[in-house]
């Protein structure tokens, strides 16, 4: 998301998440192209009006978990039946019930790590990534709507939009 050429951003800060949600609805009605919305905490009810589709992360969680289960069960089966069959207390080599705990743990392990690493990767969040912060107060108590105005087109419509929807502050910043 962090493009290397600079992006000029016009953004407005709201004091309350209800104002933010109203403003997003107004922007949608006026066909304004919102670049992004930044909030200090997850605002419920924002995703549908922003048109964000539900995250597909949980499907990946299932797939990673399935890989973990197959990997764990497969490797234990291979080791104990083919690579080095070991007689333990007269029990069968392929002791399926005894493999359940480790299979379960690996399911959870793969699912959790896979999903978390995917989350950080698709969000572009990693140690050393510099945050494209528009305003320090966005992680505190301000709710921000940002528009990309790099092309230098007339932004009076956007400024009108901000004043009409009750933005507490409107600023321009080049990222």
Partner 1 sequence: MSQAVAPVRHVLIEGNKSYHNITEDLCSPTEKAPTREWIIAFSLSAAFLALYVFAIVWTVWKGIGEWGSNRTINWAWDITNFVWWIGIGHAGTLISAILLLFRQRWRTGVNRAAEAMTIFAVICAGQFPIFHMGRVWLAFFIFPFPNTRGPLWTNFNSPLLWDVFAISTYFSVSLLFWYTGLVPDLATVRDRATGFRRKMYELFSFGWTGSAKHWQRWEALSLVLAGISTPLVLSVHTIVSFDFATSVIPGWHTTIFPPYFVAGAIFSGFAMVQTLMVLTRKVLKLEEYITINHIESMNKVIVLTGTIVGVAYLTELFIAWYSGYVYEQFAFYNRVFGVYWWAYFGMMFCNVVSPQLFWSRKIRRSIWWTFFLSIVVNIGMWFERFVIIATTLARDYLPSSWSYYSPTWVEISIFTGTMGLFFTLYLIFTRVAPVVAVAEIKSILKVAGDQYVGPKAQKQHDHGHSAAPVRNEDQNAG
Contacts (CB under 8 A) with partner 1, residues 67-126 = 75-76, 79-80, 83-84, 86, 88, 91, 95, 98-99, 101-102, 104-106, 108-109, 111-113, 115-116, 119-120, 122-126
Does 42 engage in binding with partner 1 (CB under 8 A)?
A: yes
SS3 category, 70:
helix
* Residue from 11, 13, 61, 149 binding partner 1 (CB under 8 A): 61
Distance in angstroms between the alpha carbons of the first and the last residue of the chain: 12
- Binding to partner 1, residues 130-169 (CB under 8 A): 130-133, 136-141, 166, 168
Residue 1 Cβ, how far from partner 1 at the closest point, in Å?
8
Of 36 and 155, the one with the shorter C-beta distance to partner 1 is 36
Does 12 engage in binding with partner 1 (CB under 8 A)?
A: no
* Residue from 8, 32, 46, 169 binding partner 1 (CB under 8 A): 46
Residue 29 Cβ, how far from partner 1 at the closest point, in Å?
18
Classify residue 45 by burial, with Cβ atoms within 10 Å: 0-12, 13-18, 19+.
Answer: exposed
Beta-carbon count within 10 A of 157 CB: 12
Residue 10 Cβ, how far from partner 1 at the closest point, in Å?
16
Centroid of chain to Cα 119? 6
Beta-carbon count within 10 A of 68 CB: 22
Centroid of chain to Cα 99? 34
Residue 92 Cβ, how far from partner 1 at the closest point, in Å?
10
b/e 111-135 (16+ beta carbons within 10 angstroms → b): beebbeeeeeeeeeeeeeeeebebb
Does 129 engage in binding with partner 1 (CB under 8 A)?
A: yes
């Amino acid at each position: 998301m962090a493009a290397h050429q600079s992006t000029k951003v016009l953004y407005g800060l709201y004091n309350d998440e209800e104002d933010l949600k109203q403003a997003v609805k107004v922007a949608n009605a006026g066909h304004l192209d919102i670049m992004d919305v930044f909030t200090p905490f997850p605002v419920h009810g924002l995703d549908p009006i922003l048109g964000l589709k539900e995250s597909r992360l949980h499907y990946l969680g299932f797939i990673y978990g399935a890989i973990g289960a197959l990997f764990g069960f497969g490797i234990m089966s291979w080791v104990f039946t083919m690579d080095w069959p070991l007689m333990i207390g007269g029990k069968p080599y392929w002791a399926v019930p005894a493999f359940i705990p480790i299979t379960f743990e690996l399911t959870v392990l793969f699912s959790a790590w896979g999903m978390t690493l995917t989350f950080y990767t698709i969000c572009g969040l990693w140690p050393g990534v510099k945050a494209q912060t528009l305003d320090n107060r966005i992680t505190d108590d301000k709710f921000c709507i940002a528009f990309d105005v790099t092309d230098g087109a007339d932004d009076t419509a956007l400024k009108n939009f901000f004043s009409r929807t009750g933005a507490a502050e409107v600023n321009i910043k080049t990222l």
